[in-house]
Amino acid sequence: MIEGKYQDTPKVPFTMGMEVAGTIDTVGTGVTGFAPGDRVAVFGGKGGLAEYGVFDAARAVKIPDSMSFEDAAAFQIAYGTSHLALDHRARLQPGETLLVLGAAGGVGLTAVEIGKLMGATVIACARGPEKLEVARQAGADHLIDARTEDIREAVLALGGSDVVYDAVGGDQFTAAFRSCKPEARILTIGFASGEVPQIKANHLLVKNLTVMGLYWGGYLTFRPEILTGSLAQLFAWYDQKKIRPHVSHVLPLEEVADGLALLRDRKSTGKVVIRIDG
């Protein structure tokens, strides 16, 4: 979004920060279902990195009393993306093999958790032993170090994948593509590598592969009920302590630039949260 390459970049100038959690200060005329003092999480798309924000009430959801603001701020996009991708789009089935690229990242880690909850065997691919350990703790059955291992060979040695969850793109997408089982489904979630892969359509035919995209926020415009149902399931899992956001860094507002650098340099695991005191 900073570089103007995101699929939903607002016109400049704008305030960054796609999702927030906090307490409602006031509600607009005609707003029902919310009141001052309510604890909510909001997918605003922008405007989050500020002391106050004004958001459409349709983008707000009340959060459980058991959920901290740090967890709530790290929750919607990461878990919502993975649940919608694996359940609604890929129709992941118990017993299938799920390959997660970027498995220690903000969305990748949630894909590992949700994949295990849905009964899949999860192969986690990440860079370095520390990140792989985070993925293992989230439930991954097999680990692949993207720095030192041949992803294609490692996945094929495990029997191949039925579903690929790709938040990385680039060469890792190509390796994962070549390690799929027949009729596998490949989810394109993001491009942390900075490289958007190009797919040769005729290669899809050989194994009858399906490549599908997932932009979580897009459902707000054409099927918001899908998001509502998904979030209800996710909040229920949170209340049952089946899922817990992994937040590697909590920084004050004045250190936003440092938080962005952690993401850009891929030095974080899970989510980076900016806390606004006062």
- For 195-208, the pLDDT digits (tens) are 888 988 899 999 99
What local confidence, expressed as pLDDT, does residue 129 receive? 95
Confidence of residue 146 (pLDDT cuts 50, 70, 90): very high
Burial of 104 (0-12, 13-18, 19+ CB in 10 A): buried
What local confidence, expressed as pLDDT, does residue 85 receive? 97
What local confidence, expressed as pLDDT, does residue 229 receive? 85
What local confidence, expressed as pLDDT, does residue 278 receive? 57
Confidence of residue 225 (pLDDT cuts 50, 70, 90): confident
Confidence of residue 228 (pLDDT cuts 50, 70, 90): confident
State both tokens at 230.
């998904």
Q: Which residues of 87-102 are buried (b: 16+ CB within 10 A; e: fewer)?
A: beebebeeebbbbbbb
What local confidence, expressed as pLDDT, does residue 132 receive? 96
Beta strands of 24-72 (E only): which ranges?
Answer: 39-43, 60-62
Burial of 183 (0-12, 13-18, 19+ CB in 10 A): exposed
What local confidence, expressed as pLDDT, does residue 90 receive? 97
State both tokens at 101.
């690229």
What local confidence, expressed as pLDDT, does residue 6 receive? 77
Q: Are strands 97-101 and 60-62 parallel, antiparallel or unpaired?
A: unpaired
Residue 226: pLDDT over 90: no
What local confidence, expressed as pLDDT, does residue 117 receive? 96
CA distance linking residue 272 with residue 226, whole number of Å: 26
Residue 22: pLDDT over 90: yes
Query: Over the stretch 110-138, which tens digit does the pLDDT of each residue have?
Result: 999 999 999 999 999 999 999 999 999 99
Q: Which of the listed ranges 54-58, 64-68, 146-150, 238-242 does the model predict with the highest average pLDDT? A: 146-150
3-state secondary structure of 231: helix
Confidence of residue 27 (pLDDT cuts 50, 70, 90): very high
State both tokens at 27.
């509600």
CA distance linking residue 108 with residue 114, whole number of Å: 10
State both tokens at 7.
């699929």
Mean pLDDT for the chain overall? 92
- Which domains are seen in the chain, by residue range? 19-76+219-275 (3.90.180.10), 91-217 (3.40.50.720)
The four Cα atoms 196, 225, 162, 245 give a dihedral, to 10 degrees, of 80
Residue 99: half-sphere exposure toward Cβ, Cα within 13 Å: 34
- CA distances to 104, 125, 169 from 107, rounded to whole Å, are 8, 13, 14
Q: Is 114 left (phi over 0), alpha (psi -120 to 50) or beta?
A: alpha
What local confidence, expressed as pLDDT, does residue 179 receive? 96
